[in-house]
Structure 1
Amino acid sequence: MKSIIVRASGGTDVLELADSPSPEPGVRQVRVKVVASSLNPIDLSARAGRLTAGGLMPPMSQYGLGWDVAGHVDALGPRATRFHVGDPVIGLRDLLFAGGTHAEYVVLDESALAPAPASVPLTHAATLPLNALTADRALDLAGVKAGQTLLVTGASGGVGGFALELAKLRGVRTIALARPSDADRVRAIASQVVTSSDDLGPAVRRIVPGGVDAVIDAAVLGITAHQALRSAGTFVALVAPFAPPPIRGTRVVVQEVFADGGRLAELARLVDDGTLTLRVAHTFPLTQAREAHELLEKGGIGGRIILTP
């Protein structure tokens, strides 16, 4: 099969479209014939070597990229009973040393998979697993209840957008930090929108005197976003090195995403009922992975980038 691999960290020139045998599913595993996979910022970090340098990924002679997958069940391993060959599924690879999803086939534990949402094409469904599971867990860690106030930075992106929609479903008041070009779209979801991180704390406190009850820092602003948080509030960081100190009695937690097919199935149902919105900006074949990486690095694309075999 063909897959995108990296043998030495660096720029987009280190991306290699390689041939290798198709993986075989083990006990309680499923092989998926990939239809689509998202390209995420963590793939850029893995390619550039930042995950290895940060201790999040062990040094390896080569590794694959890609976390999200949407496709069809192709083969079942022993004692795999949740799916049938041909089923449309979505899933998340959460082991950085395992084979990536930017490939023609991927093997995952059946517990990492969920039925794909029926209302959208698989190219769109591939944008759900990593970002939606991250947003959902971040919201749980934030601990906000109906009527409380949450600041979401990076609201223009995938994690931030899902966090806003899930918070709205729970009756939480949200303040979103979004790019000016996305303000109108985000305003349809959030209670209030701020379009600049300059003096973010004072700007948010003018809207919510005393500060918000919790922050989900999808834009990785750290202490800049923490200034908007009330004393004894909760700050959810998505990247550990950028987590601010817990000053003023605040609670700072780092969200670590993990594969959860059961919860992913519930999130897929929220796509089908119109609660969660999937946005695809561009689709590239694996042969144009370098162009896809370059586009994501430029930023401001207004949706997810999809790679297809």
Structure 2
Amino acid sequence: MRAVVIKSFGGPEVLELVETATPEPGPGQVRIKVAAAAVNPVDAAYRAGFLAPLTEQGQLGLGWDVAGTVDAVGPGTDVAPGTAVVGLSYGPAALKAHADYVVLDASAIANAPATVDTVHASTVPLNALTAAQALDLLALNAGDTLLITGAAGAVGGFAVQLARRAGVTVTALAGPDDERLVRSLGADRFVPRGGHVEPHSVDAVLDAAVLGATAMEYVRDGGAHVGVIPGTTPESVRSVRVATVGVRADGERLAELVALVDAKVLTTRVAETYPLAEAAKAHTRLAEGGVRGRLVLVP
């Protein structure tokens, strides 16, 4: 099979499309024939060497999101071959979801949405789980106020929709051209990037844009701040509770999020698709910025 890997760190030019043996599922695992796999900023961070060393095989696979069809199962797995699924390929590994096939724990997958195609389905696992788990950490109640930075991005957009569904009042901070988008997702208020947010004015911040201490200033005394990248969350001040979401594979929660896609509560967004062999082009486009929706590789 083909797989996108890196054997050294750097820019998009270090991506390699290699031929490798098709992996076999072990106990409690499934093998998925990949139909679509989103490209996320974490893939670029892996490629640049920010998050993980090379594996013992001297390489790193890329791709956290996958949509496809189960084609083989390991012992003790009750998923039927032929099932359309989405899943999260969590953590560093020599082979991941930017490939023709990927092996995942059965606990990391859920049945695919029925109302969107596989390309759109592949944008759900990483970003929707990150948004949901970040909101869990914030532990907000209906009527609380939340500022979401980077609200037009994939994590931010899902967070806007999930927070509004929970009755939270959402202020969306995004690019100056993104007001129509974030309001369509349910934001109550829009603030353009660089615009004014009253200090200490919201109960919590979900800092998807990684503004750090700047975002912390918007939180009231005793409020909460959740970041999305380890090592970037600011120190607590004014009794503000701080945390960083570390996304976890969770098939049961993913199934709940898929149901929300089918119920039109969550909106999937795709910017462009690329063949697997053009993964470097997708990384180059991601680095250019301004992408609204995910870039997706289609084997």
Task: Report the TM-score range of the alignment, normalised by the length of the smaller protein.
Answer: over 0.9
2:218 corresponding residue in structure 1: 228
SS at match of 1:8: coil
Deviation at 1:210, TM superposition (A): 4.4
Where in structure 2 are the equivalents of 1:164-243 lying within 5 Å? 164-188=160-184, 189-197=186-194, 203-205=196-198, 210-243=200-233
Secondary structure, in 3 states, of the residue corresponding to 1:181? coil
1:224-272 CA distance string (max 9 Å, x none):
1111000010100111221111011111101000100000000000000
Superposed CA deviations along residues 104-137 of structure 1, whole A, max 9, x for unmatched, are 0000000000000000001100000000000000
User: After the TM superposition, which residues 1-309 of structure 1 pair with which residues of structure 2 at under 5 Å, given as runs?
Assistant: 1-52=1-52, 57=53, 60=56, 61-81=58-78, 83-97=79-93, 99-188=95-184, 189-197=186-194, 203-205=196-198, 210-309=200-299
Kindly indicate whether the alpha-carbon contact (under 8 Å) linking 2:61 and 2:94 is maintained by their aligned counterparts in 1: yes
CA contact (8 A) 2:200 2:217 kept: no
Kept after mapping to 1: 8 A contact 2:227/2:245:
yes
Task: Provide the C-alpha distance between the structure 1 equivalents of 2:295 and 2:261, rounded to a whole number of angstroms.
Answer: 18
Question: Could you tell me how far apart the structure 2 residues matched to 1:210 and 1:36 are?
Answer: 42
- Runs of 4+ aligned residues of structure 1 deviating over 3 Å after TM superposition are 57-60
Cα distance, 1:42 vs structure 2: 0.5
Would you say how many aligned residue pairs link Structure 1 and Structure 2? Answer: 297
Instruction: Determine the C-alpha separation between the residues in 2 that align with 1:98 and 1:215.
Output: 35
- Tell me if the contact between 2:59 and 2:94 (Cα under 8 Å) persists in the aligned partners: no
| Structure-1-length-normalised TM-score | 0.94
What is the CA–CA distance in structure 2 between the aligned matches of 1:28 and 1:99, rounded to whole Å?
18
Is the 2:107–2:250 Cα contact (8 Å) retained in structure 1? yes
Q: Distance in 2 between matches of 1:144 and 1:58?
A: 39
List gaps (5 residues or longer) in structure 1. Answer: none
Q: CA RMSD of the aligned region, Å?
A: 1.2
Higher helix share: 1
Unaligned runs of 5+ in 2: none
Q: Could you state the TM-score of these two structures normalised by the residue count of structure 2? A: 0.97
Deviation, structure 1 residue 204:
2.2
